[in-house]
Structure 1
Amino acid sequence: MYFLSCFPFPSVPSESDPIQPTLRETIEAYFAKHLETDLEDLQYRSYKTYEEGHGRIDERTYYLTRIPADFPLKKEWPWVKAIGYSLRVSQQGDGPQSCEVRYYIVSRYLSRKRFGEEVRGALGHRIDALNVGCDIP
């Protein structure tokens, strides 16, 4: 048994729980730093899918990495063993591309396929998500 969660947290810390937005921001910054170098310095598992249907093409990429040794919130979140990132790029007909980014915390370092399946809900788990738009050139 393990836990997989995405971030439905507000971007402004609440008085009742100021840690959750900090966790999200920490994970966003961690992946942003590594994406600048095309993940060259990061050990990770990745999984890609490509789907066509209903006039839309979806390309999804999932990345999962172990919590880094120097992760600043390790003490507050001791059960978190891995963090994940997913990117979905969609094309609806001849319209513009859109993309969606989600960040995850996971209590186990799952296989790449299992992580992708869990994120997609293929195994029946409901996952709430923080959707972050991204620019497509």
Structure 2
Amino acid sequence: MNPPARDLAQYIAHRSHIVVKAAVWAENERGELLLIQHAEQGHWRIPVGQMRPGEAIEDTAHRELWEETGWTASSMTLETLHSGPDLRQLHSSGDEDYYVIALFRARIIQDRLVESRVNSEAGLKFFDPRSLPVLNRLSRMLLEGKILD
């Protein structure tokens, strides 16, 4: 018995997914931007990560800041929401992800233990917003018009 073609399509068709992420524009008390350096490619980026099922988007932002930098924030404010065709990722399988990214602005709570990682091998550093290093494409896109002019 041959199954109908419409039933087979679900197994061979390419799939599109909407992926929700939170990104964090984290600043210290001097207004400097905290960035993370990619170990292999050398570019810098802001903390960003995927929302987990059942998690509030604000909680995703707090968690990603903590996981990627070791810092917590005294405040976390939604700045902008980004989506659209520029935030599409095509996989080699033919599947595609469309990202919806919430950008939060945060004032970090600094402590000596975490501060010891800044400017070390950990790849964390504060930058004056007027003299940022080379950022990855996503970070440039999210910060454009806010910090980058």
Higher helix proportion: 2
Tell me the TM-score range normalised by the shorter chain.
Answer: under 0.3
Q: TM-score, normalised by structure 2?
A: 0.24
Q: TM-score, normalised by structure 1?
A: 0.25
